[in-house]
Amino acid sequence: MAVNFSQSRTKENLMRAFAGESQARNRYTIAAEEAENKGFYALKEIFLFTAEQERAHAARFYEFLKQEAGNTIEIDGTYPVDQSESLVELLNMAAHNERQEHEDVYPAFAKTAEEEGFQDVAYTFREIAEVEKVHGVRFTKLADMLKNETYYEKPEGDEWMCLNCGYIFKGTKLPTMCPVCHKERGYFIPACMAPYLGFEGSGYERKGE
Ligand SMILES: [Fe+2]
Ligand SMILES: [Fe+2]
């Protein structure tokens, strides 16, 4: 049944989503500071990268609210206080919220939008829900690696990229600093998560090997 946008639940859900994304963006920016304070530059970058995507989500939802420009929209909602000095906890809390968005919140908003006749909004909620899944999986993976101490060490061998100079380290345990640029090892990111790498981590062979 088509509904007038101004009277729709979708209008409110878009504002809820805008508020949620805006807060997620800030939570990740703040978590990035915590990661940096702990010398974990790579994790800081991952938080900032994700924060920027939450900004893009917020912008997309906000755009749908354009026709309400000049009005205020009252919403109720619950928002998490995800504060911790533990990076593992910050990652797990972030993953939890991402999962909720992916599994419950955005699918429900999409369904309502569809019922109210806003197909493009429904599509956007569904596709952004898929992005949140990726966010959640990545945060969980990182939390597990930190918790199990497999971020810097992989008995079966792995590859890492230094985010400062691009050097690829191959082995079972990262040195305490990058052998090329001498930045601390917090600059290294596992190859499977390295940006712009251009090859599968496990398929990489250094020249001459
Ligand atoms: Fe998002
Ligand atoms: Fe997300």
- What average pLDDT score do residues 14-31 get? 98
In a domain, 209, yes or no: no
Point out which residues pair with 169 in neighbouring strands: 160
Distance 147 CA to ligand 2 centre (A): 21
Q: Alpha carbon of 11 to those of 17, 63, 116: distances in Å? A: 10, 11, 10
Give the pLDDT of residue 198. 83
What number is the average pLDDT over the span 138-165?
95
Which CATH number goes with the domain that contains 199? 2.20.28.10
Residues 15 and 104 in one domain: yes
Convert the pLDDT of each residue in 38-95 to its tens digit: 999 999 999 999 999 999 999 999 999 999 999 999 999 999 999 999 999 999 999 9
Q: What is the mean pLDDT of residues 153-169?
A: 95
Answer yes or no: is 113 within a domain: yes
Q: Has residue 36 been placed in a domain?
A: yes
Residues β-bridged to residue 184: 177
Record the tokens describing residue 204, joined without a space: 């990489």
Identify whether residues 118 and 194 lie together within a single domain. no
Give yes or no: residues 65 and 141 share one domain.
yes
| Per-residue model confidence (pLDDT) at position 207 | 43
62's CB contacts (< 8 A; 6+ apart) are: 14, 18
150 Cα: distance to centroid of ligand 2 (angstroms): 24
Residues 142 and 171 in one domain: no
- Same domain flag for 164 and 112: no
Does any domain span residue 29?
yes
Q: Is 203 exposed, middle or buried (0-12, 13-18, 19+ CB in 10 A)?
A: exposed
Q: What percentage of the chain exceeds 70 in pLDDT? A: 95
- Whether residues 131 and 52 share a domain: the answer is yes
- Assigned domain for 96 exists: yes
In a domain, 208, yes or no: no
Supply the pLDDT for residue 200: 64
Same domain, 89 and 188: no
At 209 the three-state DSSP class reads: coil
Residue 100 and residue 198 in one domain: no
Q: Does any domain span residue 182?
A: yes
What pLDDT is attached to residue 199?
Answer: 72
Look up residue 131 and give its two tokens. 């992005």
pLDDT tens digits, 187-208: 999 998 988 888 765 555 544 4
Structure tokens given for 209: 């090997």
Q: Which two tokens stand for residue 73?
A: 């929209």
Cα 50 to middle of ligand 2, angstroms? 7
Domain extent at residue 23? 5-147
Query: Residues with Cβ < 8 Å from 150, sequence gap 6 or more?
Result: 144
C-alpha separations of 64 from 1, 3, 13, 129, 207 in Å: 19, 15, 11, 17, 51
pLDDT score for 204: 52
Tell me: do 197 and 131 sit in the same domain.
no
Domain endpoint, select from 105, 124, 147: 147
Residue 76 has a pLDDT of 95
Confidence of residue 123 (pLDDT cuts 50, 70, 90): very high
Q: What are residue 78's DSSP bridge partners? A: none
Same-domain check for residues 196 and 131: no
Of the three residues 147, 168, 195, the one that is the final residue of a domain is 147
Q: What is the CATH number of the domain that holds 68?
A: 1.20.1260.10
d(CA 175, ligand 2 centre) in Å:
32
- What total of structural domains would you count in the chain? 2
Distance 177 CA to ligand 2 centre (A): 31
pLDDT, averaged across the chain:
94
Largest interatomic CA distance in the chain: 67
How high is the pLDDT of residue 197?
85
Q: Indicate if 67 and 159 belong to the same structural domain.
A: no
